[in-house]
Homo-oligomer: A and B are copies of this chain.
Amino acid sequence: MREVAVIGIGQTKVDEHWDLSLRELAGFAVLDAVKDAGLDQVDALYLGNMMSGSANHQQQLGAYIADWVGLRYAEAVKLESACSSGASAFRSALLAVASGAVDTAVAVGVEKMTDSPGAEITAELSTAADADWEVSQGISFVALNALIMKRYLYEYGWDKNDFANFSINAHANGVHNPNARFRKKISREQYEKAGMVSEPINLMDASPIGDGAAAAVLVPVEKLGSLPGYPIIKIIGSAAATDSIAVHGRKDPLWLTAAEISSKKAYQQAGVTPQDIDFFELHDAFSIMAALSLEASGFAERGQGPRLALENEIIPTGKIPIATRGGLKARGHPVGATGMYQLVEVVEQLRHTAHGTQIEGAKIGMAQNIGGSGSNIITHILKRIN
């Protein structure tokens, strides 16, 4: 298995892009990444997307985007695992390059959501839950997460407002990210007074949808030569795991088993422990998910995720900085693109170009992308090696 590095990144600002087509949205991110890599083209394209078939009436996005960016005839395919589609595309590109079948690959995540009516998007998002055993009961995706959070508060005795710092940190960091959907700080008071979406999840616990695309170019380390003039960012851990889609089917609805499995595998491959991780781009689709990720990935004891937020250990100067470029909460959550935004942000940090929220001396970063309410979780660890 060949070692693989990321040598180019590109991203479109998360926004309501009514003036950009699906082609342009993904295409600009890909073109930026390929240009950033100093290449003219790549051998293959792996695209993560969840809902283009229904929201945009377009399937076959691999060929669709490949052609538009000048990669006609190249291999191209779409990966889907609900909100973790982005990381699925990255992992697929990684394995293709690692296997030797492909020499240069671009992974891109894209989602165009804001052209569709809100009710339609709510219905589309619910296809990440179990159609037979959850959605048929009338539950929406946010309501599922609300049930998890409610039970969490009950079991571990936290107050809902103990989660405030997850959102406050995300918004404070997003201010410095030109590609973030929301670039304004929020106060504790704003958090506490935010309108309720699905009790106990309020507007400040929930990440916004959006249109966006992010991309990265992957090549074998062996082809880079020895110590080129730019930092080499190597992928030192990559693992994916699943769980029951229906939350009630899990052994423990308050524990992300798929996060535990995939992070442990990634740590083992990388030869690191959670203490070696300089920052963690986790999947804060809802603030409860940030807490659960921190616990299942070994950064907090069971039921103690919110303590890291309360004690300010999640800010850029804390013990385990998270959502350093705004996270899903402030950068935004264009579902199939999110996993790629996380990875692009990890590379920004490792290149030491995360202006305004740079983690000092960042060397090892981790990204974790969650599909459904925890049914597909993919963890990647990247390391700067020069």
Contact = CB atoms under 8 A, between A and B. Distances in A.
Interface of A: 1, 21, 23, 50-51, 53-54, 56-64, 66-67, 71-82, 88, 92, 95-96, 98-101, 123-124, 126-128, 130-132, 135, 238-245, 249, 257-258, 261, 371-372, 375-376
23 contacts: A1-B99, A54-B54, A56-B131, A59-B82, A59-B127, A60-B80, A60-B245, A60-B372, A63-B243, A63-B372, A63-B375, A72-B244, A74-B242, A75-B241, A76-B376, A77-B80, A77-B92, A80-B80, A95-B96, A95-B99, A95-B101, A98-B100, A98-B101
Given A77-B88, A99-B99, A371 B58 contact: no
Contacts of A59: 50-51, 80, 82, 127-128
A177 to B, nearest CB: 28
B57 A127 contact: yes
Nearest to A76: B242
A53 B53 CA distance: 7
Contact of A371 (B60, B128, B240, B261): B60
Contacts of A238: 101
Given A81-B78, A99-B95, A127 B73 contact: no
A67 B59 CA distance: 26
A96 to B, nearest CB: 5
A73 B135 contact: no
Contacts of A243: 63, 67, 72-73
B127 A67 contact: no
Contacts of A249: 67
B58 A127 contact: yes
A4 to B, nearest CB: 10
B60 A241 contact: no
A80 B132 CA distance: 22
A2 to B, nearest CB: 8
Contacts of A244: 63, 67, 72
A77 B79 contact: yes
A131 to B, nearest CB: 4
A64 to B, nearest CB: 5
B60 A376 contact: yes
Nearest to A66: B242
Contacts of A135: 57
Contact of A242 (B56, B75, B81, B124): B75
A203 to B, nearest CB: 25
A241 B73 contact: yes
A54 B258 CA distance: 26
A375 B75 CA distance: 10
A77 B127 contact: no
A61 to B, nearest CB: 8
Contacts of A124: 53
Contacts of A239: 75
A245 B62 CA distance: 10
A22 to B, nearest CB: 8
